[in-house]
């Protein structure tokens, strides 16, 4: 199929925030993050394609096969599936949402293609990597709507007796997990909260016969008007995947016009947000990076879930920053990436 060629993240760029600059060729720039996105006041958006988009082809030695499938022709939502070929029996399914501040990224990015193929092999699970609509052309809740649409599409596959999808014979639809990193983790969380007003019983009925078993949030992209200690004081290198100015820009581009960072979609702990006591009884795992500006916000989120009586576990990966598992090739990052994969495998198999 023809996939949308989403623009790519710039690894190693200076993610400084620039606003209101004049460009003699293209008009007035309203918002910009260097190397990632440039939004003009006339509504046009540019995303330099620096990380390549790749096809679903994989090396045979990995033991995983991959293909792309259309979810919705009208909105051009599609997904890339990863299926281990050496594993016998029914496999759990991990529905995964990529990161990128809601504004950049693609299921076809080479970094996600590599990471998720390896994760499928390591964790012995099928992965459905959803390519959702991006802001600012499609501001929130578009990405959440696309997540719900992906689950409803899966529901139809589970109900169909004549589906021709190549992966369904290996799929245990009673063993489904939602996951994502950064903005994708935010999407996974908000998809769950949108499933019938956070009522676990009603949410289960809404996607039956699918059975949601748990949620995996990797460096969840949350925010708030009040700055945390790590947001104010963490020193980020020019090669960091996220700094405070870039984070603020992403939220201005993604949230409804006029919304603050204490909007419930951004800040799940702000006044007016979902009461975590009412959140479904799904086990939650949160992966946090020690050098991430979002570290303290993630730890506060985990603590709040615990106080609300939720089944939550978390791990802090030492010495690495935001999105290290897809953007960094250092030896330390590779070691920590294997740790993340092992934790995900344990979480999936232990429930």
Q: How far apart are CA 181 and CA 323, in angstroms?
A: 7
Question: Which residue among the candidates 182, 240, 328, 333 is catalytic per the annotation?
Answer: 182
Mean pLDDT computed over 215-221:
98
Would you call 182 a catalytic residue per the annotation? yes
Residue carrying structure tokens 């099928």: 126
CA quadruple 331, 329, 317, 92: dihedral positive or negative?
negative
In the predicted model, is pLDDT for residue 158 greater than 60?
Answer: yes
pLDDT at 151: 96
**Nearest CA to 253 among 220, 300, 221, 286?**
221
In the predicted model, is pLDDT for residue 4 greater than 80?
Answer: no
Q: Residue 80 phi/psi, 5° resolution?
A: -110, 125
Domains and CATH numbers, the chain: 54-349 (3.40.50.1820)
> pLDDT confidence of 87, banded at 50, 70, 90?
confident
| Per-residue model confidence as pLDDT tens digits over 171-208 | 889 999 999 999 999 999 999 998 855 455 566 678 88
Q: How far apart are CA 213 and CA 34, in angstroms?
A: 39
Mean pLDDT computed over 159-169:
73
| Per-residue model confidence as pLDDT tens digits over 223-271 | 999 999 999 998 877 778 899 999 999 999 999 999 999 999 999 999 9
| Per-residue model confidence as pLDDT tens digits over 110-122 | 999 999 999 999 9
Structure tokens at 304: 């709040």
DSSP labels, 2-31: PPP------TT----EE-S-EETTTEEEEE
> pLDDT confidence of 280, banded at 50, 70, 90?
confident
pLDDT at 286: 98
């Amino acid at each position: 199929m023809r996939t949308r060629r989403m623009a790519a993240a710039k690894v190693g760029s200076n993610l400084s925030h620039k606003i209101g600059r004049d460009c003699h060729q293209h008009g007035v720039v309203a918002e910009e993050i260097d190397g990632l996105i440039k939004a003009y006041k006339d509504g046009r958006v540019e995303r330099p394609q620096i990380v390549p988009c790749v096809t679903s082809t994989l090396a045979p030695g990995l033991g995983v096969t991959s293909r792309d499938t259309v979810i919705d022709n009208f909105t051009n939502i599609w997904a890339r599936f990863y299926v281990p070929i050496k594993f016998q029996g029914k496999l759990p399914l991990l529905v995964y949402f990529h990161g990128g501040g809601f504004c950049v990224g693609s299921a076809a990015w080479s970094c996600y293609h590599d990471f998720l193929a390896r994760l499928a092999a390591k964790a012995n699970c099928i992965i459905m990597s959803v390519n959702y609509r991006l802001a600012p052309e499609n501001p929130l809740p578009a990405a959440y709507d696309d997540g719900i649409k992906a689950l409803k599409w899966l529901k139809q596959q589970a109900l169909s007796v004549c589906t021709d999808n190549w992966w369904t014979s290996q799929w245990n639809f009673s063993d489904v997990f939602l996951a994502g990193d950064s903005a994708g983790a935010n999407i996974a969380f908000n998809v769950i909260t949108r499933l019938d007003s956070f009522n676990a019983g009603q949410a289960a009925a809404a996607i039956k016969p699918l059975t949601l078993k748990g949620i995996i949030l990797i460096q969840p992209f949350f925010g708030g008007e009040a700055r945390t200690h790590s947001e104010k004081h963490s020193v980020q290198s020019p090669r960091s995947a996220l700094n405070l100015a870039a984070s603020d820009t992403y939220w201005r581009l993604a949230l409804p016009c006029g919304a603050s960072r204490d909007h419930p979609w951004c800040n799940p702990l702000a006044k007016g947000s979902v009461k975590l006591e009412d959140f479904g009884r799904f086990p939650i795992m949160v992966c946090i990076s020690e050098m991430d500006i979002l570290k303290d916000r993630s730890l506060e989120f985990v603590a709040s879930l615990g106080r609300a009586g939720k089944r939550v576990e978390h791990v802090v990966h030492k010495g690495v920053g935001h999105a290290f598992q897809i953007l960094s090739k250092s030896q330390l990052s590779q070691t920590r990436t294997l740790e993340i994969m092992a934790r995900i495998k344990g979480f999936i198999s232990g429930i």
